[in-house]
């Protein structure tokens, strides 16, 4: 599958992160008050828009990049910037490609990135900034300090969001045991899951961008996201409407992830993703979970067994009411596994109710 421009930008951010030789070279160019235009990749499409200059084919080093950038024209490296292939090249991209940049260096960079699909880096001599062009995206590289400041703010937000998510998830579990879940409870949990996912994704981009300077941030992110798992997917499997005899969870997760922030704050919009049409009191309607999410919390129950249990009992309430003999009537479930499921469900019931009332 072709990578999205956002994913390609993330990969490029990792390639120019602090601690890499490429970043060192770019910083040297910046400090030396020269500019540069660097293409990260070479193929026929790049060759076709190269005019003049010369082939060099030498190993990459930050000082070589810095020296070559003193010459007029662009530098072409291979994809992972381990070799410098050409220097002092005039790039002649298709001039009909629309560009929002001003200045020939940056206009060329944007056009070449769009035309060839390779990332292009411009170091502006007059503005003293490093910019990445990937597909149609542009990203200004910053020093580690401002990125770290934003990352720390995002981390504090993630901490708050995670605490709230744990609260609504525990409350959902208790309500499930008591068969008192409303559409609103489900929508709020999905909303909180998605908010945590978004802020965690933002922080993982900072981790990439910070390279060696982002090690501590990476550990903090890991700590705040442990145990999250495929949260939204499990909730949707429990509650989403069955369409044409099947669940469309993958599609619904994607819709949820593409919702705008203003849509996200509206529980009825989230309920619509689950297939619940807005109407009077639709958010207050009581719904029954199928049981996938709580079953996934029992470590030794693989997904295939969960699927069979849900198919057989048709919902969490029946599952909770089943004794070991009932569980053993399900295909492929022996006494040992039936006992594990029974004990697991009882433990979940106890802890959720304790969490709720203590």
Ligand X SMILES: Nc1ncnc2c1ncn2[C@@H]1O[C@H](COP(=O)(O)OP(=O)(O)OP(=O)(O)O)[C@@H](O)[C@H]1O
Residue numbers at the binding site for ligand X (CB under 6 A): 35, 37, 72-74, 90-91, 103-106, 108, 124-127
Question: Which residue number, 49 or 345, has a Cβ lying nearer to ligand X?
Answer: 49
Distance (Å) of CA 313 to CA 63, 183, 323, 336: 68, 22, 12, 19
Residue 285 DSSP SS3: coil
Calculated CA dihedral for residues 194, 196, 202, 206, nearest 10 degrees: -160
95 is in an annotated binding site: no
User: d(Cα 16, Cα 106) in Å, to the nearest integer?
Assistant: 18
Residue 51 backbone phi and psi in degrees, to 5:
-130, 140
Strands 36-40 and 74-77: parallel
106 is in an annotated binding site: yes
Nearest residue to ligand X by CB is 103
347 is in an annotated binding site: no
19 is in an annotated binding site: no
Question: Which residue number, 65 or 74, has a Cβ lying nearer to ligand X?
Answer: 74
Shortest distance in whole angstroms from residue 197 CB to ligand X? 37
User: d(Cα 186, Cα 291) in Å, to the nearest integer?
Assistant: 13
Among residues 70, 12, 4, which one has the least CA distance to residue 39? 12
Question: Which residue number, 90 or 346, has a Cβ lying nearer to ligand X?
Answer: 90
Shortest distance in whole angstroms from residue 142 CB to ligand X? 17
User: d(Cα 330, Cα 309) in Å, to the nearest integer?
Assistant: 7
190 is in an annotated binding site: no
Among residues 38, 217, 228, which one has the least CA distance to residue 133? 38
Instruction: Check: CB of residue 161 under 8 Å from CB of residue 193.
Output: no
Shortest distance in whole angstroms from residue 93 CB to ligand X? 7
Shortest distance in whole angstroms from residue 82 CB to ligand X? 22
Shortest distance in whole angstroms from residue 227 CB to ligand X? 47
Residue 19 DSSP SS3: coil
91 is in an annotated binding site: yes
Shortest distance in whole angstroms from residue 122 CB to ligand X? 7
**Left (φ > 0), alpha (ψ -120 to 50) or beta: where does 267 sit?**
alpha
Instruction: Check: CB of residue 19 under 8 Å from CB of residue 213.
Output: yes
Among residues 66, 72, 67, 74, which one has the least CA distance to residue 93? 74
Residue 170 backbone phi and psi in degrees, to 5:
-60, -40
Shortest distance in whole angstroms from residue 100 CB to ligand X? 13
Instruction: Check: CB of residue 156 under 8 Å from CB of residue 64.
Output: no
107 is in an annotated binding site: yes
Shortest distance in whole angstroms from residue 26 CB to ligand X? 13
User: d(Cα 28, Cα 14) in Å, to the nearest integer?
Assistant: 18
Q: Write out the binding residues for ATP.
A: 73, 91, 104-108
């Amino acid at each position: 599958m072709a990578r999205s421009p956002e994913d390609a930008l993330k990969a490029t951010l990792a390639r120019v992160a602090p601690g890499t030789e490429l970043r060192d070279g770019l910083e040297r160019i910046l400090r030396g008050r020269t500019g540069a235009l660097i293409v990260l990749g070479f193929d026929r499409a790049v060759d076709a828009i190269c005019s003049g200059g010369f082939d060099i084919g030498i190993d990459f080093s930050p000082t070589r990049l810095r020296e070559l950038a003193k010459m007029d024209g662009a530098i072409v490296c291979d994809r992972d910037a381990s070799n410098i292939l050409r220097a002092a090249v005039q790039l002649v991209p298709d001039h009909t490609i629309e560009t929002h940049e001003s200045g020939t260096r940056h206009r060329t960079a944007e056009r070449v990135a769009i035309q060839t699909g390779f990332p292009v880096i411009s170091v502006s001599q007059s503005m003293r900034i490093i910019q990445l062009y990937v597909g149609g995206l542009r990203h200004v590289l910053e020093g580690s300090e401002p990125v770290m400041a934003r990352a720390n703010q995002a981390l504090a937000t993630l901490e708050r969001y995670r605490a709230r998510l744990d609260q609504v998830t525990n409350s959902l579990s208790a309500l499930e045991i008591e068969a008192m879940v409303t559409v609103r409870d489900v929508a709020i949990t999905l909303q909180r899951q998605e908010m945590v996912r978004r802020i965690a994704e933002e922080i993982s981009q900072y981790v990439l961008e910070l390279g060696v300077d982002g090690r501590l941030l990476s550990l903090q992110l890991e700590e705040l996201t442990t145990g999250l798992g495929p949260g939204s997917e499990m909730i949707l499997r429990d509650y989403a409407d069955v369409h044409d005899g099947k669940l469309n969870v993958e599609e619904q997760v994607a819709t949820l992830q593409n919702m705008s922030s203003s849509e996200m704050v509206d529980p009825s919009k989230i309920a619509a993703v689950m297939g619940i049409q807005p109407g009077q009191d639709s958010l207050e309607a009581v719904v029954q979970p199928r049981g996938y999410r709580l079953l996934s919390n029992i470590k030794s129950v693989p997904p295939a067994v969960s699927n069979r249990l849900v198919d057989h009992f048709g919902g969490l309430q029946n599952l909770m009411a089943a004794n070991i003999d009932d569980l053993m009537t399900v295909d492929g479930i022996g006494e040992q596994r039936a006992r594990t499921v029974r004990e697991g469900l009882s433990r979940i019931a106890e802890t959720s109710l304790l969490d709720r009332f203590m």
